[in-house]
Amino acid sequence: MSDTYDVVIVGGGPGGYVAAIRAAQLGLKTAVVEKRGRLGGTCLNVGCIPSKALLQSSHHYEMAEHEFASHGIKAQVSLDLKTMIGRKDKVVEDLTGGIEFLMKKNKIDYVIGEGVITAAGEVTVKPSGKGAKKKVLKTKNIIIATGSESTPLKGVDVDEKQIVTSTGALELGKVPKSMVVIGAGVIGLELGSVWRRLGAEVTVVEFLNVALPGMDGEVSKQMKRLLEKQGIKFKMKTKVTGAKKAKAGVTLTMEASEGGKAEKLKADVVLVAIGRRPYIDGLGLDKVGVEILDRGFVKVDDDFQTNVEGIYAIGDVIGGAMLAHKAEDEGVVCAEIMAGQTGHIDYGSIPGIVYTHPEVASVGKTEEQLKEAGVKYKSGKFPFSANSRARCNADADGFVKILADTETDRVLGCHIIGPQGGDLIQEVVNVMEFGGSAEDIARICHGHPGLPEAVKEAALSVDGRAIHI
Ligand code: FAD
Ligand code: NAD
């Protein structure tokens, strides 16, 4: 069977399915090929969505167990993990089903199976299931949106039961007594928080001497302290060199990052969360001559074109911030460029959010980056302990920090630890996109009592004139 398309997209994650919708809106005949059997990619199936569903449920559990009493609410609390996991699965099912509906609504062909690029202008789909026939899709353009996978760690073999990636950590059948998380990055701290709240003793082993490396230094330090206060233990500057499984648990061998005496650590479950790597297995890129960068990312130019005409790539597979919203925006712009329009992404104002409690949110430059670049900046900071809404909510850990250019007052970065930090950062993202200043934020009326007032106060503080501190 043969079909001719304007664009065939391989991979139905946030990059792929959003590119498909935008291409269809622009009148392009579009197909999306996905082998998972469900649309939404890593994000909806085993990433953003299930992790946030469990973070929310486990937060409720922790509140009920430890915080309700101070509000005068007496409750007897017990955990029904099966229901919690089931609710998470239902959220995933509903949202992925919603994407399938959007494909139909936009008249996009959703082809289930593994896509192989057999030539420029040709994608062959190997459907799963016995006896299913190959399908050849002829097309003017192809977008590679095959995403990423968990980076493996030598000597620590994942079985998704005792030694898990994030995927297994979203599916544990019971709360482990102890869990070791390898990597103090975003996944490690989010999923470590989930299982700590549900009762596991969590130890995070990190190669470097900072948690959340790459984030503003003050934020990384304070967040680690807050997580320690919540009961997570950290073993910094340590590398895991091997793992031995037994029925009763896993024994890890570790040593100092720079080398040293080996030590052992036992845990019921080990979560490997040392980063993600691009996924291009079986895609046939070598045969069609698509250039691949050193670490396996697909090389693209500013218009998301690979070196082979008519083959584009977007999302995690091309590198940069491995975030769903970055993949989505690239999908939109790529489709627009393909349709003859111009598109643009400001990579300097993509927010990054860690959904721990409190949340960590960041956009633009960190203090460390500004210092290194020799940029003169002013810093304004405001703690949530002085924000009335945060005090009403008994949720007042953290601060908002705004960094602005000394001469022009233009906002260069914002770093938040705090309740709803991930929502609060968006105000600053918008101001940065419009080239706005700290003064602009400071002059905008903010509703009272509200958490966004902490952002306004941090902006006022850039000029040394915060009101409530
Ligand atoms: P993916 O979502 O990985 O989608 C690629 C799809 O391509 C997959 O479904 C795969 O099955 C399919 N595919 C691959 N090869 C083929 C082939 N040959 N044929 C057919 N189909 C193929 N990001 C955020 O912004 N916020 C978050 O809160 C967040 N939380 C996360 C939590 C976890 C636990 C993880 C693992 C990730 C999280 N991320 C989060 C990152 C986010 O999931 C990714 O950045 C995003 O999914 C990337 O989108 P993508 O479309 O590039 O690739
Ligand atoms: P990460 O890059 O955030 O963190 C990995 C951590 O592991 C780093 O701190 C690193 O120093 C450490 N590490 C690396 N090798 C190690 C080793 N051998 N031993 C000990 N520590 C080691 O990666 P991640 O947490 O796996 O997440 C992967 C990607 O998924 C990230 O790029 C992230 O953007 C995305 N993600 C985003 C969200 C979100 O936006 N809320 C949530 C989850 C995942």
Query: Can you give the pLDDT at residue 82?
Result: 98
How far are the Cα atoms of 190, 220, 231, 389 from residue 237, in angstroms, in the given order? 20, 15, 19, 38
% of the chain residues with pLDDT over 90:
96
Query: Can you give the pLDDT at residue 1?
Result: 45
Active site residue 448: yes
Q: Residue 375 domain-assigned?
A: yes
Q: Give the residue numbers spanning the domain of 425.
A: 349-462
Does residue 282 sit in the same domain as residue 321? yes
The CB-side HSE value for 164 (13 A sphere, CA atoms) comes to: 26
Q: Residue 469 domain-assigned?
A: no
Average pLDDT, stretch 368-380? Answer: 98
Does residue 29 sit in the same domain as residue 129? yes
Report whether the peptide linkage leading into residue 452 is cis, meaning its omega lies within 30 degrees of zero.
Answer: no
* Nearest ligand for residue 354 CA: 2
d(CA 59, CA 48): 16
11 Cα: distance to centroid of ligand 1 (angstroms): 9
Q: Which of 428, 285, 307, 312 is nearest to 362 (CA)?
A: 428
Quick: pLDDT tens for 69-118. 999 999 999 999 999 999 999 999 999 999 999 999 999 999 999 999 99
Please, are residues 135 and 1 in contact by the beta-carbon 8 Å criterion? yes
Q: Tell me, what amino acid is at 35?
A: K
Does residue 26 sit in the same domain as residue 100? yes
CATH number for the domain spanning 67: value is 3.50.50.60
Other Cβ atoms less than 10 A from the Cβ of 348: the count is 12
Does residue 170 sit in the same domain as residue 24? no
Average pLDDT, stretch 13-22? Answer: 98
Does residue 242 sit in the same domain as residue 314? no
% of the chain residues with pLDDT over 70:
99
Q: Which of 312, 346, 279 is nearest to 144 (CA)?
A: 312
Whether the model clears a pTM of 0.85, i.e. scores above it, the answer is yes
Ligand 1 in reach of 41 Cβ (< 6 A): yes
Which residue's CA is the nearest one to ligand 2's atom 44?
187
Ligand 2 in reach of 183 Cβ (< 6 A): yes
Cα torsion 310, 316, 320, 323 to 10°: value is 130
What residues contact 387, with CB distance under 8 A and at least 6 apart? 396, 449, 451, 453, 454, 457, 468
Ligand 2 in reach of 351 Cβ (< 6 A): no
Query: Can you give the pLDDT at residue 151?
Result: 98
- Sign of the Cα torsion 388, 222, 359, 82 reads negative
For the chain, the domain total comes to: 3
Please, are residues 242 and 155 in contact by the beta-carbon 8 Å criterion? yes
d(CA 463, CA 406): 10
Does residue 2 register a pLDDT over 70? Answer: no
268 Cα: distance to centroid of ligand 2 (angstroms): 21
Quick: pLDDT tens for 337-359. 999 999 889 999 999 999 999 99
Q: Report the Cα–Cα distance between both ends of the chain, in Å, rounded.
A: 70
Q: Where are the beta strands (DSSP E) in 47-175?
A: 109-112, 114-119, 122-126, 135-144, 148-150, 163-164
Ligand 2 in reach of 170 Cβ (< 6 A): no
Does residue 98 sit in the same domain as residue 229? no
Q: Reduced to 3 states, what is the DSSP secondary structure of residue 288?
A: helix
Quick: pLDDT tens for 187-224. 999 999 999 999 999 999 999 999 999 999 999 999 99
Quick: pLDDT tens for 230-247. 999 999 999 999 999 999
Q: Tell me, what amino acid is at 323?
A: L
Query: Can you give the pLDDT at residue 3?
Result: 62
Does residue 287 register a pLDDT over 60? Answer: yes
Average pLDDT, the chain: 97
Query: In the β-sheet with 201-205, what is the strand arrangement from edge to edge?
Result: 163-164, 269-272, 178-182, 201-205, 233-235
Quick: pLDDT tens for 131-161. 778 999 999 999 999 999 999 999 999 999 9
d(CA 272, CA 292): 26
Ligand 2 in reach of 354 Cβ (< 6 A): yes
Q: Residue 156 domain-assigned?
A: no
d(CA 132, CA 129): 6
191 Cα: distance to centroid of ligand 2 (angstroms): 11
Q: Residue 155 domain-assigned?
A: no
Query: Can you give the pLDDT at residue 131?
Result: 74
222 Cα: distance to centroid of ligand 1 (angstroms): 29
Does residue 366 register a pLDDT over 80? Answer: yes
